[in-house]
Amino acid sequence: MKQRYGFRKGIIGLGAISLLLLLLAGCGGASGDKETNNAATPSASAEPVPIKIQLSWVPQAEFAGFYVAKEKGYYKEEGLDVEVVAGGPDIVPEQQVANGTAQFGVNLVGSLLSHIEQGVPLVQIGQIFQDSSMVLVSKKDSGIDSPEKFAGKKVGNWMGGNEYEVLALFSKYGFDPLKDVKFTKQGFTMDQFMNGDLDVATAMIYNEYHVLLENGYKPEDLNVFNLDQLGVGMLHDNLFVNKEWLASNEETAVKFVRATLKGWKDAIADQEGAVDIVMKAVEEGSSTRDHQLTMMKEVAKLVQPEGLSADKIGFTNQERFQLTADIALKFGVIKNQADVPAAFTNDIVEKALKGM
């Protein structure tokens, strides 16, 4: 069986938060603070500003816009020397940004809200995915063709912060996850589903769903439950920074976002070329070009959904952000109502667009 490509770790446990707060003491001396004097448009002799962006998972088409922007020299044109840092199961992007190891981070919006509530001074400056990328799948021959039929069935999820949308769906249909369904931890592959150990599995539409197709399933063999369409979708990939760093490095942030938006627009316009670039960063043997191309096609629809104009890529929709915050509150990601207007800003994207 083929393994899952690119599973992303979700929200960290509260036990790690205290470590984050201790690390914050060092934020003021982070390398990003040295960038203030370099914020203006660089002269030919100016040294490029070193920047790191911490991804939430390993190199893959999920992050194509960043790799394209770097490969095509868009960051360099802005006077930035950008390192795209791969993530992994033990990497928490919020922690890396909080302690100054990276200036920008990508992760789930629910995870960002959790860290903000714990006092970590982060703010979202861009929304990469405009829709939730999570779906649930069942086999057609199982007869499970609606959420109402989840009762008594084994429903899998990776947990670790990824379960909240599924819990919200259970709540919508009146299911107690401890009594009415058999809510089960899902492994990093789709083997449990393919072997019949799960009746319903969680999948990212750009990843695990296509792993099933690559393993012989046809679309007509599967029921796909789109969590966005069911009204419980939470926002996923975002772009965030440390508020304290942003206060003295706004122009650098604008330059980074401007170059990144160019990268994403190019990646959507030329998906084959974007995947060629991404494959240079993918660990040999960990994925295939065909899988990454399939991922790129799905990711493009998340970054620029049908009906969204290109000049709206990267903007945060307050209503969608609020829905994510409401779900996060209901299911314990956060304990108190989030201050949504303070948790994100569209100012950086707006200023970046003015210079394009």
CATH value at residue 176: 3.40.190.10
Residue 33 has pLDDT above 60, yes or no: no
182-192 confidence digits (pLDDT tens): 999 998 789 99
pLDDT for res 45: 57
Mean pLDDT of 275-292: 95
Q: Is 75 helix (H, G, I), strand (E, B) or coil?
A: helix
Are 240 and 103 members of one domain?
yes
- For residues 111 and 35, the model is more confident at 111
Are 123 and 255 members of one domain?
yes
The reply to whether 176 falls in a domain is yes
Residue 3 has pLDDT above 80, yes or no: no
Residue 315 has pLDDT above 90, yes or no: yes
216-270 confidence digits (pLDDT tens): 999 999 999 999 899 898 999 999 999 999 999 999 999 999 999 999 999 999 9
Report yes or no: 299 and 64 within 8 Å, Cβ to Cβ.
Answer: yes
Residue 273 and residue 268: Cα distance in Å, rounded? 10
**Domains of the chain: total:** 2
Calculate helix-pair angle for 318-330, 109-117, nearest 10 degrees. Answer: 70
Are 161 and 241 members of one domain?
no
What type of residue is 14? L
Decide which of 226, 254, 277 is a domain's last residue: 226
The reply to whether 140 falls in a domain is yes
The reply to whether 100 falls in a domain is yes
As a whole number of Å, the end-to-end CA separation of the chain is: 46
The β-bridge relationship of strands 122-127 and 104-105 is unpaired
Task: Provide the domain limits for residue 303.
Answer: 14-131+235-354
Report yes or no: 42 and 54 within 8 Å, Cβ to Cβ.
Answer: no
Decide which of 206, 226, 246 is a domain's last residue: 226
60-95 confidence digits (pLDDT tens): 999 999 999 999 999 999 999 999 999 987 889 999
Residue 32 and residue 37: Cα distance in Å, rounded? 11
Q: Which of 142-151, 156-165, 216-225 is predicted least confidently?
A: 156-165
What type of residue is 41? T
Residue 189 and residue 39: Cα distance in Å, rounded? 44
Are 263 and 114 members of one domain?
yes
Are 331 and 295 members of one domain?
yes
pLDDT for res 331: 86
Confidence of residue 34 (pLDDT cuts 50, 70, 90): very low
Are 253 and 210 members of one domain?
no
The reply to whether 6 falls in a domain is no
Choose among 27, 257, 53: nearest CA to 120.
Answer: 27
The reply to whether 3 falls in a domain is no
The reply to whether 52 falls in a domain is yes
Beta bridge partners of 224: 137
The reply to whether 348 falls in a domain is yes
Residue 245 and residue 263: Cα distance in Å, rounded? 24
Are 123 and 252 members of one domain?
yes
Are 215 and 307 members of one domain?
no
Q: Which of 42-46, 93-97, 106-110, 304-308 is predicted least confidently?
A: 42-46
Report yes or no: 350 and 252 within 8 Å, Cβ to Cβ.
Answer: no
Are 215 and 247 members of one domain?
no
Average pLDDT along the chain:
88
Residues in Cβ contact with 146 at an 8 Å cutoff, skipping those fewer than 6 apart: none
Residue 327 has pLDDT above 50, yes or no: yes
Q: Which of 124-138, 139-153, 155-169, 304-318 is predicted least confidently?
A: 155-169
Are 77 and 169 members of one domain?
no
Decide which of 172, 198, 226 is a domain's last residue: 226
The reply to whether 207 falls in a domain is yes
Are 116 and 169 members of one domain?
no
Are 249 and 102 members of one domain?
yes
Residue 228 and residue 235: Cα distance in Å, rounded? 9
**Within the chain, where are the H helices?**
17-23, 64-71, 74-77, 93-98, 109-117, 164-172, 191-194, 208-214, 243-248, 250-269, 271-279, 289-303, 318-330, 340-343, 347-354
pLDDT for res 224: 98
